[in-house]
């Protein structure tokens, strides 16, 4: 019987110890709340010190995350699964990163068109060229500012670049072949030139020195990190060759593989064919460059990494100052509550209980500061991106890191005052005034 009763007795004892410890933890939390409420002004000031540190950290990192998302969405709108074949004279430099510093020969229209005709991989191919980046468009007595773009395109350009036609139609193959004076305009062109609500279709506008009939209006894209895609007028690429000709015109070839087709495989096939088009030998280096639609986005995002590191260091330094302030407050609290400590020890509280009480108080203040700081950080971090047309971001990873840092700050700041409180002599503390 005694052997059977021993496990039950052991279970009862362990359960009793567990419930006593749980009750002790609840009591320490209750005392911590009472202490915080009794010194409300001091607690609020301490919470705000921690909150401003977390706000600086979460705010900057949230803003960076929002900018990264804006960059990705801007470039994915150009065709997330596409790439472009360009002349290697095209330069891109972001920060210390530089690409394609040597000039190479242009890509002629004949080469671009031959590639389009012979590339039988499962994909959509378009040929385009920039005609002007500072054009003025006119309709009757209205005109745009001289910051609108004119681009020569073919009938597949809108599919590879992520545009959609809202009104009217796309170019026909016949219009592209013959270079007719027709135009598909961006949403902002229609807003500026047809303010009275007129239907822009079939109206004739002036693009630079030529007259063009509007056959389509593109769906609005809105402003993005890389500018407005709505200040655009697209005319047949063959028309650009006739009326916007300039020395060393270099055409771009855009390729969008069909859904389910690997972009890397398509890029390999494209490079092989274009080397044949350019009449390159086996030992010759490629004198063109294949650029994925997300390459520039990745360059921009990578350039933000140093900003992220700097922001993290600034936030940690600010939190270090907050930790010192919280430790000072806790030391003052220990000195003020010396008699209370003596009374609790006199009625049976041990050193561990006293230590837990003050440690819980420091952690609780730290978490309250973290809660306020995270809220302010999300608001401040999203304020500038939202004004600039970005998206609202809730950085869950940074939020968890913020609360973790506040917990660490509470432990570091409260540990020494808690140990000091636990070592108070109850006899001396009862005489303390």
Other beta carbons within 10 Å of 29: 16
Prediction pTM value: 0.57
Q: Confidence class of residue 240 from pLDDT cuts 50, 70 and 90?
A: very high
> What pLDDT score does 402 carry?
83
Of 90 and 209, the one with more pLDDT: 209
- Give the chain's mean pLDDT: 80
One-character DSSP codes across 6-69: HHHHHHHHHHHHHHHHHHHHHHHHHHHHHHHHHTHHHHHHHHHHHHHHHHHHHHHHHHHHHHHH
Percent of the chain past pLDDT 90, that is, above it, reads 20
For the segment 81-115, what is each residue's pLDDT rounded down to a tens digit? 788 888 875 444 444 444 443 446 789 999 999 99
The C-alpha atoms of residue 407 and residue 367 are separated, in whole angstroms, by 6
Asked which of 27-31, 137-141, 368-372, 395-399 is least confident by mean pLDDT, the reply is 27-31
> What pLDDT score does 94 carry?
44
Q: Confidence class of residue 163 from pLDDT cuts 50, 70 and 90?
A: confident
Asked which of 90-99, 205-214, 296-305 is least confident by mean pLDDT, the reply is 90-99
In the predicted structure, residue 176 carries a pLDDT above the cut 60: yes
Characterize the bridge pairing of strands 123-135 and 92-94. unpaired
Angle at 7 between CA 4 and CA 12, to 5 degrees: 125
In the predicted structure, residue 185 carries a pLDDT above the cut 90: yes
> What pLDDT score does 1 carry?
46
Which backbone phi and psi does 340 adopt, to 5 degrees? -60, -40
Nearest-10 crossing angle of helices 305-336, 338-346: 70
Residue range 165-174: mean pLDDT, rounded: 92
The C-alpha atoms of residue 275 and residue 119 are separated, in whole angstroms, by 12
One-character DSSP codes across 211-251: EEEEEEEEPP--EETTEESSSEEEEEHHHHHHHS--TT---
For the segment 303-315, what is each residue's pLDDT rounded down to a tens digit? 677 777 877 787 7
Q: Confidence class of residue 13 from pLDDT cuts 50, 70 and 90?
A: low
In the three-class reduction of DSSP (H, G, I as helix; E, B as strand; rest coil), residue 361 is classed as helix
């Amino acid at each position: 019987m005694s052997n059977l009763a021993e496990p039950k007795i052991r279970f009862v004892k362990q359960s009793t110890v567990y419930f006593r410890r749980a009750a002790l933890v609840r009591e320490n939390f209750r005392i911590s709340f009472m202490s915080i409420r009794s010194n409300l002004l001091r607690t609020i000031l301490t919470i705000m010190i921690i909150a401003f540190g977390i706000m600086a950290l979460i705010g900057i990192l949230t803003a960076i995350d929002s900018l990264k998302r804006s960059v990705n969405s801007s470039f994915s709108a150009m065709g997330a699964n596409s790439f472009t074949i360009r002349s290697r004279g095209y330069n891109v430099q972001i920060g210390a990163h530089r690409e394609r510093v040597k000039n190479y020969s242009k890509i002629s229209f004949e080469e671009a068109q031959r590639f389009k005709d012979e590339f039988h991989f499962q994909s959509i191919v378009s040929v385009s060229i920039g005609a002007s980046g500072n054009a003025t468009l006119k309709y009757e007595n209205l005109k745009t500012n001289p910051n609108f773009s004119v681009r020569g395109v073919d009938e597949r350009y809108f599919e590879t670049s992520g545009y959609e036609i809202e009104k009217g139609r796309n170019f026909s193959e016949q219009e592209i072949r013959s270079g007719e004076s027709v135009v598909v305009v961006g949403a902002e062109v229609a807003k500026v030139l047809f303010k009275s609500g007129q239907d822009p279709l079939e109206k004739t506008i002036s693009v630079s020195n030529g007259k063009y009939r509007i056959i389509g209006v593109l769906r609005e894209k809105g402003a993005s990190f890389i500018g407005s895609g709505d200040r655009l007028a697209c005319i047949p690429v063959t028309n650009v060759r006739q009326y916007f000709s300039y020395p060393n015109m270099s055409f771009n070839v855009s390729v969008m593989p069909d859904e389910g087709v690997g972009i890397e495989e398509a890029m390999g096939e494209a490079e092989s064919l274009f080397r044949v088009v350019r009449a390159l030998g086996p030992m010759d280096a490629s004198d063109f460059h294949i650029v994925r639609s997300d390459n520039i986005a990745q360059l921009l995002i990578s350039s933000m990494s140093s900003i992220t590191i700097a922001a993290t260091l600034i936030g940690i330094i600010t939190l270090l100052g907050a930790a010192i302030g919280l430790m000072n407050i806790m030391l003052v609290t220990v000195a003020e509550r010396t008699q209370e400590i003596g009374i609790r020890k006199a009625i049976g509280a041990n050193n561990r209980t006293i230590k837990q009480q003050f440690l819980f108080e420091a952690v609780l203040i730290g978490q309250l500061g973290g809660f306020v700081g995270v809220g302010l950080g999300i608001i401040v971090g999203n304020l500038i991106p939202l004004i600039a047309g970005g998206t609202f971001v809730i950085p869950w990873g940074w939020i968890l890191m913020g609360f973790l840092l506040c917990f660490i700050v509470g432990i570091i700041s409260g540990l020494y005052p808690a140990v000091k409180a636990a070592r108070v002599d109850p006899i001396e503390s009862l005489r303390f005034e």
